[in-house]
Amino acid sequence: MNTGKIVRTIYFEDDAVKMIDQTKLPSKLVIHTCVTVKSLIEAITSLRVRGAPALGVAGAYGVLLSAIQHKEENCEQFYMHLREDAKAIAEARPTAVNLQWGVVAQEKLLDISAPIEKTLHLLKENAKSIADKDLENNEMIGKNGAALIEQNDSILTHCNAGALACVGYGTALGIIRFAYAEGKKIHIYVDETRPLCQGSRLTAWELLHENIPSTLITDNMAGFLMKQGKIQKVIVGADRIAANGDVANKIGTYSLSVLAYHHNIPFIVAAPTSTIDFSCNLGEEIPIEERDGNEIIYWHGIQNAPESVHTYNPAFDITPANNISAIVTEKGIATQPFIETLKQFKP
Amino acid sequence: MNTGKIVRTIYFEDDAVKMIDQTKLPSKLVIHTCVTVKSLIEAITSLRVRGAPALGVAGAYGVLLSAIQHKEENCEQFYMHLREDAKAIAEARPTAVNLQWGVVAQEKLLDISAPIEKTLHLLKENAKSIADKDLENNEMIGKNGAALIEQNDSILTHCNAGALACVGYGTALGIIRFAYAEGKKIHIYVDETRPLCQGSRLTAWELLHENIPSTLITDNMAGFLMKQGKIQKVIVGADRIAANGDVANKIGTYSLSVLAYHHNIPFIVAAPTSTIDFSCNLGEEIPIEERDGNEIIYWHGIQNAPESVHTYNPAFDITPANNISAIVTEKGIATQPFIETLKQFKP
């Protein structure tokens, strides 16, 4: 796992969706195989695969998997089951728009008058193209965003917007990878990102594997680092971007954006244009997934709080456009006012 | 453990310092016994006892323990060993000024010309008085601070400034206890406070035991709650307060103060006047303890990050006076400008 070109986070092989099981990292690198739509949905809800761009690809592969499962049925049943599965996959998680986007990109190919074999072929080619395009996009995001990184920058990142959040290479970490490969001397501070620690488990793991200098901190240390002048940029990914530039991303992103604003530190969001939801005018319209409170109370079965404690566990928050300096996409960089500048990326 | 009057967090019995072992909570309520200064220092550095006011009492008991250990020696050796032990206890942890304060309060009684029995008696009486005074102070802090709490307030607190951080009752939680006992309808949001989770392990436990309505969150959720209008006050404790009102407290306090400032939410610090260090002009002069990075990498032996990851683990940060609305002590409430108003509390 260096540029993500060798090992893909998610791929299709032998009529199955295969993925690095991200719940097992950093202790074990395990490939998890889904041969049914049901098992793929389980993999999505339990976060074996996560990250907006990877979920887009999972959505596309999911529809393909459904088609393979149902290919022996008659045409009517085949397309009916395909639509049912597509809906279930798209609804597996609510916040990242890419999941729905990947499903819809496949649904557009469905022509009830077409023979099943032809549909199967189209879905397979399209899924492959979406996965390949994800890698290409991330390298372009990396290249575009690296222009914002200066020599000797220390960069804070939150959660994992790396190769593991995509097919490979990464969005926020794509920029970091590109800047580092260009020879820029940079240091990365990694927020552990409670409750599921995608920062400490995944981002720290990716950076170590590529020898990019990094330091792991807990989420509540970020402000103190900024105050000490140790952070020159914050770069995060996105799960959904509203037309006005409001960004839904991993819980804690909003706090970081306020801290960055307070300390005059550029706050950069990196995402493919497929993450922009032009049907969504404002961040407030983005549904926020609330997850099981046991994610906070237990850590791999070890108790961290009284069992009967009441919890609140939103998985995402909304960062207002006003707190964001730049949104870096594969098609270029948008800056304030985003309501105008994002339009250029409209499909 | 309701008002802290029944079970004390730390007490002296049978020539030993006894304490609730806070590393075992919330799973087990265990009393840990220290019969030597060495074991007391271990209990302090490993956080079996923690919290600035409790450390003050631990310091006073520590000098008493030393006197009991060395009482059979000749006068010269006795006082020499007492001074050595006092120094070692005071240096066990650097940030909370109360530890040194408790030790110095005992050292002031040392008169090399006095018989050992008399000194023993004085140290015992003084330690008891310091412990009793801690409870009294906290009830006064509670009473004074409760005046700032309004009906239907939702209050965010960080780390544990509760009965467990003191002999009993608590400072920040003392205010909450008092307001709740007065009949005010309040709701408490508890930051888990990584890496050692004093919020989820200790504060959530205390509040559950007293049926004060509370919700546990991860540290990175605080900003999102504030944005949603769910927080009306932030109340935290303090490990050391500089003469200008800058406050050293658990890591993450600074971030919360910036978030509260940004959202126009009053930020209240609760501490006994023994936490004010008038010899310290500015927060920058306060030493910040940096702890072992394994506190971030492991949770009770379960790996949370790659083993070889580089970490930064400051246990405290400095909140500038400018971000603080009020400092509540047993002697009254100080407000801006603290450099003037704190003077009234000078001994």
- Show residues of chain B in contact with A197, CB under 8 Å: 304-305
Residue A132 sits in the same domain as residue A157: no
Looking at the complex, does the CB of residue A217 fall below 8 Å from at least one CB of chain B?
yes
End position of a domain, from candidates B98, B119, B138: B138
pLDDT band at B322 (very low <50, low <70, confident <90, very high): very high
Q: A217 and B312: CB-CB below 8 Å?
A: yes
Number of Cβ atoms within 10 Å of the Cβ of A1: 18
Residue B265 sits in the same domain as residue B309: yes
Residue type, B162: G
Pick from A220, A302, A308: CB nearest B208 = A308
Q: Is residue B1 part of a domain?
A: no
pTM: 0.96
pLDDT digits (tens, 9 = 90+) for B30-71: 999 999 999 999 999 999 999 999 999 999 999 999 999 999
Residue B213 sits in the same domain as residue B172: yes
A3 has a pLDDT exceeding 60: no
Please list the helix, strand and coil fractions of chain B in percent, rounded to the nearest 5, in that order.
45, 20, 40
* Residue A53 main-chain phi, psi, to 5 deg: -65, -40
CA distance B16 to chain A (A): 30
pLDDT at A4: 42
Q: Quick one: what percent of chain B has pLDDT higher than 90?
A: 96
Q: A220 and B296: CB-CB below 8 Å?
A: no
A2 has a pLDDT exceeding 50: no
pLDDT band at A289 (very low <50, low <70, confident <90, very high): very high
Choice among B134, B153, B191, B239 that is catalytic? B239
Closest CA to B262 of A269, A233, A221, A260: A260
pLDDT digits (tens, 9 = 90+) for A161-190: 999 999 999 999 999 999 999 999 999 999
- Between CA A27 and CA A37 the distance in angstroms is 27
Domain containing residue B87: CATH number = 1.20.120.420
pLDDT digits (tens, 9 = 90+) for B120-132: 999 999 999 999 9
Tell how far CA B185 is from the center of its chain: 26
DSSP lists the bridge partners of residue B191 as: B217
Residue A232 sits in the same domain as residue A272: yes
Computed over every residue of chain B, the mean pLDDT equals 96
How many domains is chain B built from? 2
Residue B126 sits in the same domain as residue B223: no
Residue B322 sits in the same domain as residue B262: yes
pLDDT at A294: 97
pLDDT at B130: 97
Q: Is residue A3 part of a domain?
A: no
Pick from B225, B254, B296: CB nearest A227 = B254
Domain region containing B148 = 144-345
- Between CA A336 and CA B4 the distance in angstroms is 54
3-class SS of residue A7: coil
Computed over every residue of chain A, the mean pLDDT equals 96
pLDDT digits (tens, 9 = 90+) for B273-319: 999 999 999 999 999 999 999 999 998 888 999 999 999 999 999 99
**B256-284 average pLDDT score:** 98
pLDDT digits (tens, 9 = 90+) for A50-100: 999 999 999 999 999 999 999 999 999 999 999 999 999 999 999 999 999
Looking at the complex, does the CB of residue B216 fall below 8 Å from at least one CB of chain A?
yes
pLDDT at B6: 53
Residue A156 sits in the same domain as residue A288: yes
Q: Quick one: what percent of chain A has pLDDT higher than 90?
A: 96
Residue type, A242: A
pLDDT band at A6 (very low <50, low <70, confident <90, very high): low
Q: Quick one: what percent of chain A has pLDDT higher than 70?
A: 98
Tell me the CA end-to-end span of chain A in Å, nearest whole number.
32
Residues of A involved in catalysis: 239
Cis bond leading into B195, ω under 30°? yes
